[in-house]
Amino acid sequence: MNVKIAYEKVARMLNEWYGTIKRHQVPKAISMKEEIQSVLPYMEENQDLLLYFNLLDLRHNLMLEKLSDSKEAYEKIKKQEEQVKETNKMIQYYSLFFSGVYEFYKKNFIDAINYYRLAEDKLKSIPDEIESAEFHYKLAHAYYQIDQHFVSLSHAKKAKSIFNAHEDYKVKAIACDMMFGANLYDMYQLSEAEELFQNTLHEAKAINNQRATGIIYHNLGLIFERKNVLGLALEYFKKAMDLQEHFESQNGIRSMYMAARVLYESGDLSEGLNWYKNALTRTKKCNEEEYKSKLKIIYSIYEEYNQLEVNNAFKYLETKNLWSDVSELAEKVADFHKKTGDLNSCTEYLKKALNAKTQILKVTEALA
């Protein structure tokens, strides 16, 4: 091909590719990336568009949960930081925003929020309300992860009000409802959360979206586990895992972990051990340290107690500011020690649980 392709045409292709990523249209996004890669060598020289491609490549890899490819793409972008500073505000925005998305996937939620805050100033120069909705949704998700529920709900409402006005973004509107439900669950408003998830489940099934359906089944399982209706909780976790797209994703690891936990809590140690082993294998394959840590804690509670493993697991969760999980699991370890008659260790873990709840408030102050 000797004829140069106008960079304006490639820009339109890049924008369309990003649209498929935002709508989580995986096959179409993969196809579009391949098409763009085939024409890039013949494009009229435009460094801004090459930077834009690299940024979208990072976002594409994160969508596919290809964390090693994402790391490579992220490092490439970081090497181009000086170039980014010389570009327009749109490129600067995406550099900051996607850096936040990358940190989120690494479970560095505070770092993610800090990047999002830096990106927000650049967002004002992008006349695209869908981009604004995407920004607020990502911010809602990050604040949810560090237990800032009212802030999360505020951003989720802003995102949904925009997504609702666009039929192409029905799945994103459903995701906002799922975010509402997750926050309600964490605030122990279980009946309200269940009603919301049941309604959202109907919507997800109506558009045949397996990804959303699987996550909703998982969240319903969480609600019934918290209500101590363990049989129904397990049923929902298994329904989630019956969906291939859910099972093969990182969300599948979460459901496997919860299935193991519910089975152990029900007294079915043999089946609980099977799910523990399956889940642990997946965490090692995917380098999923959060759930590897959680699995080691429940293994110590129900199978063979290992103080070093428990300490290391809690240390990891604490470094990621996962204080809600630290509190919940510390209470379970405290209960284990109470049953074995080790009251000193029981007291130690009750203090850890209380300290974790205090840390949630400190995170709020640090972000103020």
Which residues make beta-bridge pairs with 43? Answer: 5
d(CA 296, CA 318): 15
Short-list 325, 259, 247, CA closest to 286: 247
Low-confidence ranges of the chain (pLDDT < 70): 1-2, 364-368
What percent of the residues of the chain are helix, what percent strand, and what percent coil, each to the nearest 5? 85, 0, 15
Q: Supply 167's token pair.
A: 């039929």
The predicted pLDDT at position 245 comes to: 94
67, 238, 270, 279, 310 from 274: Cα distances, Å? 27, 14, 7, 9, 20
* pLDDT of the residue at 81: 83
First to last CA, the chain: 55
Output the CATH code of domain 209-287.
1.25.40.10
Best CA proximity match to 260, nearest among 234, 239, 229:
234
Give per-residue pLDDT as tens, 171-229.
Answer: 999 999 999 999 999 999 999 999 999 999 999 999 999 999 999 999 999 999 999 99
Which pLDDT does position 2 carry in this prediction? 60
Where along the chain do its domains lie?
Answer: 209-287, 293-368
pLDDT at 367: 62
- Identity of residue 249: S
> What gap in Å lies between CA 353 and CA 317, rounded to an integer?
12
Q: Which two tokens stand for residue 210?
A: 């397996």
In sequence order, the β-bridge partners of residue 5 are 43
pLDDT at 68: 83
Torsion on CA atoms 210, 212, 215, 219, rounded to nearest 10: -130
Q: pLDDT value at position 365?
A: 63
Given a contact cutoff of 8 angstroms between Cβ atoms, the answer to whether 332 and 317 are in contact is no
Confidence at residue 152, expressed as pLDDT on a 0 to 100 scale: 98
CB atoms within 10 A of CB 285: 9
Q: Record the pTM.
A: 0.91
310 in Cβ contact with 297 (< 8 Å): yes
